[in-house]
Amino acid sequence: QDAVLLDLRDVPEDRWYYENDGITALNEMRNFDWKTKPLHIAPAAEKQAGGIYTDEYFKTSLEGLYAAGEAGPGVSIPFCIVSGACSGRYASWYAREAPPIRLRDEDIKWIEKKKGELRTIEESWEEKAAHTYTMEQLITSNLELELKKLASEVNAGGTKIIVYNSLPWTRSGMVFLPYHSTVPAITLKDAATNETTPACIKNNTLEFFASGVPSMGYKTYLVITEKPATKNTGMINRQQNIIETPFYKITLSPARASIISVIDKKSGKELVDQKSRFGLGQYCWEQFSNDDAVTFTRTYTRYYEWKKAGYDIKNSDWINYDFSKFPVPDTTKHKFFLNQNAAIEYTEDNNKITAILKGSVSASMPHQTYLKVIAYTSQPCFDIVWGIINKPEDNLPEAGWMCLPLNITKPQYRFSRTGSIINPATDFVDSTLHNFYCVMNGFTVMDSSNSGIGIYPEDASIICLNESGLYKIPYKKFKSVNKDIFLNLYNNLWGVNFRLWIGGSWTSAVRIWTFNNYDNETSLMTPSEEAKVPLHAVIVDGKAGKLPATATGIGLSRKGILITAFGKNPDGEGTLLRLWETSGKDGKCTVTLPAGSPYKKAIPCNLRGMVTGTAITVTGNKFSVDVNHFSPVSLLLQ
């Protein structure tokens, strides 16, 4: 009586089970039965609008204390954001001008105690990185478990290896998997064709070249003997430091700790610029001065333009803290050191030749690094793997580079980025960083005849053209003034988004290949995808099952198209199949479903699962669909 009631008795039963935060909260609140009882409600004080009094600079009456957000004169989220940014800025200005604060002894003791309790910034980064590593472990372990289930059901007994290809086209490539044996090599037999292939064992890892693995399918290899099969068409010349395969002749330089020549045997062309001061794969360490940091930040934020126009720029240097390492001690000078004087070790096996150039710490190089060059005898590419050992952490601004001097006259570039392939000469607006680019899925460099070199950096995605490009903005338009490219291995420039100290041991790999008559798919996307997504394999012992020794999954009539989803439709009935065109080509694509698939039609839909077109008939496990350049195609299979 004389009360306001919240009455939810008319809410339909099914609505109580929706995944809704509000409904869930109501169900859990005080064990109250909302379905049968109304609730008495009354006005109440939720919060005080406004807090500590401040002036327009968010300064309180207590010297040195600033207030923002709900602690200050506001409550809304936008105001919290604005006042937080502004008060922080004003407080930093005050701190620079204010006399040093003398702490009481008890305050100093409290701070020392807290140092051991509070997490550091770097520990916070490690915590975030741990989530990535956890997901990687979950995915790889589950994939291995499922592949072992598959292997146990294959119609072959004894020790068998299942090689799985997750890309939607037939492919070949190297396979690496754990294997414990006292012999250095074994022979494998294709369970379907009886063809044999050699495999080597190094550091408890089995390595072999698998050919013709079906699209999104698998093939089976049997371990038939522990007598090593012989297959190697490579050559090592230790006196001249040359390694050679059917595809490339590679010359190494101990003095320059890098590759100084690569001859493409098919075309006879030299791939390394012989006039460059850098070697291919040579490591460069760069340290930056305070002048570098301040000049870069002021140029990037147009400080000099504002100053020339007469604007008040007295308090603008606060941004230096966000954009770069600032302040840097005046005694810190710009340094640019190249790795030199390496010892070379050579090894070879049935499938590849490996050379390791081992550097050492010296007066001109503070880091211990190595460069591993892997030349394959069964595929027309080679890998460069750079590694660093126990790098000390340094809060001074620094960067590490891998030099890539390519012998391409009047080079033209294509960068594969998410959603498109970019020509940096035409596709970026002026006044941006035209010497500093991000390449997500590899890049190519070609001459006027459209012949050139493809590169996929497996672990790093930033490259600079012409010169190493941190802490500088050399030009506001695209320029190609020489043949040098620099792959950024690490940096600590942007302290807001990246780690402040780079230390430890790690590697960074690069795959290199050549091409004629440039094409987005054959020259860039397919080689990059095959480098990024290796063949997966497991080895098991057991009895023969009922599945065939080899089987094909989903196949596409065109390369350059990826399958990004295949499984239960999360938005309704049917099975969702999604294709994504990555090479910039329009046209028909024929989809071949696995043998025995029950599907009779493919219904076009959008990314939300809503039907957008007429059903396509599936005949003999096949159907064709129009695919537009750099676009997804979603289909509901029924």
pLDDT at residue 526, rounded to an integer: 97
H or E stretch including 576?
Answer: strand 575-581
Number of helical (H) and strand (E) elements in the chain, helices listed first = 8, 37
Q: Bigger pLDDT: 443 or 84?
A: 443
User: Which whole number is the average pLDDT over 255-267?
Assistant: 97
- 423-430: list long-range contacts, CB under 8 Å, 24+ apart: 424/465, 424/478, 425/478, 425/480, 426/478, 428/478, 430/476, 430/477
- CATH 2.70.98.30 range(s) for the chain read 276-288+334-531
Q: What is residue 19's predicted lDDT score, i.e. its pLDDT?
A: 47
| CB-count exposure of residue 265 (10 Å: 0-12, 13-18, 19+) | middle
Which residues are 565's β-sheet partners? Answer: 578
Residue 262's pLDDT is what? 98
Is the pLDDT score of 350 beyond 90?
no
CB-side neighbour CA atoms (13 Å) of 402? 30
Q: pLDDT tens-digit profile of 453-490?
A: 999 999 999 999 998 988 888 777 888 878 899 999 99
* Predicted structure pTM score: 0.79
The DSSP secondary-structure symbol of 619 reads: B
| 3-state DSSP percent of the chain in helix, strand and coil, to 5 | 20, 35, 45
What is the average pLDDT across 33-47? 74
**In angstroms, rounded to a whole number, what is the distance separating the alpha carbons of residues 585 and 583?**
6
Across 18-32, average pLDDT: 53
Percent of the chain at pLDDT exceeding 90: 53
Peptide bond connecting 327 to the previous residue in cis, omega within 30 degrees of 0: yes
DSSP 258-279: EEEEEEETTT--B-B-TT-SS-
What pLDDT score does 122 carry? 66
Q: What is the pLDDT of residues 186-215, one digit of tens each?
A: 889 999 999 989 898 888 899 999 999 999
Greater confidence (13 vs 342) lies with 342
The answer on pLDDT for 110 being more than 60 is no
Asked whether residue 21 carries a pLDDT value surpassing 60, the answer given is no
Do residues 524 and 443 make contact, with C-beta atoms less than 8 angstroms apart? yes
Predicted pLDDT of residue 118: 43
Q: What is the mean pLDDT of residues 86-108?
A: 68
Q: How far apart are CA 543 and CA 191, in angstroms?
A: 14
Give tens-digit pLDDT for 587-624: 999 999 999 999 999 999 998 888 999 999 999 999 99
Residues 2 and 18: their CA atoms lie apart, in Å, by 33
What's the sign of the alpha-carbon dihedral 578, 583, 587, 592?
Answer: negative
Residue 551 structure tokens: 């089987």
**Residue 216 in contact with residue 166, Cβ under 8 Å?**
yes
Please provide residue 426's backbone torsions phi and psi, each rounded to the nearest 5 degrees.
-130, -20
Q: How much is the average pLDDT of 483-502? A: 80
Residue range 503-533, pLDDT digits in tens: 899 999 999 999 999 999 999 999 999 999 9
3-12, 130-139, 438-447: range with highest mean pLDDT:
438-447
* Confidence band of 418 (pLDDT split at 50, 70, 90): confident
pLDDT tens, residue by residue, 284-308? 999 998 888 888 888 877 778 778 8
Q: Distance of alpha carbon 173 from its chain centroid, rounded?
A: 21
Listed in order, the ranges of the chain carrying CATH 2.60.40.1180 are 554-637
Q: How far is CA 544 from CA 147, 177, 192, 217, 548, in A?
A: 15, 22, 14, 19, 10
- For residue range 270-286, what is the model confidence (pLDDT) as tens digits? 999 999 999 999 999 99
Question: Measured between alpha carbons, how far is 314 from 307 in angstroms, rounded to an integer?
Answer: 10
* Higher local confidence (pLDDT), 289 or 498: 289
pLDDT, mean over the chain: 86
In order, the DSSP letters of 112-124 are HHHHTTSPPHHHH
**pLDDT value for 85:** 78
Q: CATH 2.30.30.230: does it fit domain 554-637?
A: no
382 in Cβ contact with 233 (< 8 Å): no
Where is pLDDT greater, at 82 or 32?
82
Task: Determine whether domain 276-288+334-531 maps to CATH 2.70.98.30.
Answer: yes
Least confident of 35-39, 94-98, 112-116, 567-571: 112-116
Is the four-CA dihedral 172, 176, 180, 184 of positive or negative sign? Answer: positive
The closest of 487, 136, 542, 88 to 318, measured between CA atoms, is 88
**Lowest-pLDDT choice from 76-90, 227-241, 338-352, 605-619:** 76-90
| 178 C-beta neighbours (distance < 10 Å), count | 11
Residues facing 414 on adjacent strands: 444
User: For 530-579, what is each residue's pLDDT tens digit?
Assistant: 999 999 999 998 899 999 999 999 999 999 999 999 999 988 888 999 99
**Helix ranges, 218-344 (H):** 290-300, 303-308, 320-323
Q: What is the mean pLDDT of residues 629-637?
A: 96
